[in-house]
Amino acid sequence: MQTIRVVETGDGWQVRCGDEVLLQDAAEEPCFTFALATSSRMFDAGMRYEVVLQRLDSLIVPVD
C-alpha cells in the first residue's frame, strides 16, 4: 500500500506521494479533497493508497 500525505508546511499545504509534490495550496481543505480524490481514482485502477494528514504541531514531541 502506498501513502499520499497531506503535509502542513510553513507556506501552506502540500499533497505528496513519495518525494513528488502533487499539489501545493495555502488552504488545507483543497489539498485534503485532492488527496482523497487521487486515492479514490487509484483504488478504481486497482492500486491501494492511504491518505495521511500531517500537521506541523503533530511533529512536536513533548519533553518530559
Q: Residue 61 and residue 45: Cα distance in Å, rounded?
A: 38
Please give the pLDDT value at position 24: 93
**Is residue 38 within 8 Å of residue 50, measured between CB atoms?**
no
Strand pairing class (49-54; 2-9): parallel
User: What CA–CA distance (Å, rounded) separates 34 from 63?
Assistant: 35
Phi, psi of 39 (to 5 degrees): -60, -40
pTM (2 d.p.): 0.79
More confident residue, 63 or 11: 11
User: How far, in whole angstroms, is CA 55 from its chain's centroid?
Assistant: 10
pLDDT digits (tens, 9 = 90+) for 13-40: 999 998 999 999 999 999 999 999 999 9
Confidence of residue 59 (pLDDT cuts 50, 70, 90): low
